[in-house]
Amino acid sequence: MKRFKTTKGLIGIVLLLAIALIAILGPMIIPPEASTAMDMHARRSPPTLIHLFGTDQLGRDLMFRVILGARTSLEIAVSAVVMSVVLGLPLGLISGYFGGLTDNVLMRLVDTLLAFPALLLALTISAVLGPNLQNTIIAIGVAFTPYLARIIRGEALRVAQMPYVEAARSSGTTDIMIMGRHVLPNILPAVIVQGTISLAFAILAEAGLSFLGLGTQPPAASWGLMIQASRDQLDIAPWTAIVPGLAVALTVLGLNMFGDVLRDILDPRAK
């Protein structure tokens, strides 16, 4: 079992490193205009030595678009998760530490957001704000905030009952110092693990929003946008959907595998 977890973790790390390198180095090597350059004589060309991943309905090289789209998709996912941590961490920490009326008020607010499926909430926010990169980040970040706040609140409740926290209270240490010195450091592992797993869901959410026309907008390269553009080409050019679909699947797989192993390492209660 331990060997299986180690292998799974290595696979996840390799996948994430490969995708991260592609997202970072790709735009440095490939000019941005390469993803929008059209060759009407090579429309819907299958994978060849000239176009390794084939071309789409406008003759654009899919390999270039997938590589440059990696940065867009990962940028949105990372920014959205960071935003959800910034919003959810204080909510969950304050609610779990103080309890009582404070906990009831904050958690009812969180429960109101949890009443809506994350993707539906993100769709609503994106539709209200308008479809662009910044608003997509806001929509996904707000939609994921209540889930993170709930997990942090549960961890804060557990840590707040620990003897060292009671001892700090008895010594006259202020609540802010206790939360900063004792509670926060002990809930960070759960935040890190949940943030890693949330990245996978954020990538799927971005792909879903872009597919529905409420995320990244043309002519920018985005995995979800590429899948959306290929929906009418599946019978004659299936590679236009398979290539970006595999990029999404491999990234989500790598994040989930790495997140599972990271949870086993950072959470002493995990079996």
Residue 131 tokens, joined: 């479809």
Residue 101 tokens, joined: 């009326």
Residue indicated by tokens 């009582």: 100
pLDDT the model gives residue 81:
93
Closest alpha carbon to 196 in 251, 158, 135, 235:
251
Report which residue type is found at 178.
I
Cβ proximity of 124 and 116 under 8 Å = yes
Rounded Cα gap, residues 37 and 155, in angstroms: 50
Closest alpha carbon to 65 in 240, 251, 213:
240
Residues in the chain: 271
CB-CB neighbours of 79 under 10 Å: 18
Rounded Cα gap, residues 226 and 220, in angstroms: 10
pLDDT the model gives residue 137:
92
pLDDT the model gives residue 5:
57
To the question of domain 2-31+62-266 being in CATH 3.40.50.1370, the answer is: no
Our measurement of the distance from residue 269's CA atom to the centroid of its chain's CA atoms, rounded to an integer in Å, reads: 25
Residue 39 tokens, joined: 């060759």
Mean pLDDT by 10 residues, the chain (271 residues): 62 84 81 72 80 82 86 89 92 87 88 87 89 89 91 88 84 84 86 87 89 80 84 83 90 85 67 50
Rounded Cα gap, residues 136 and 76, in angstroms: 7
pLDDT the model gives residue 38:
77
pLDDT the model gives residue 138:
93
Q: How deeply is 31 buried, as exposed, middle or buried, from its count of CB atoms within 10 A (0-12, 13-18, 19+)?
A: exposed
Closest alpha carbon to 88 in 215, 187, 200:
187
Closest alpha carbon to 185 in 213, 162, 217:
162
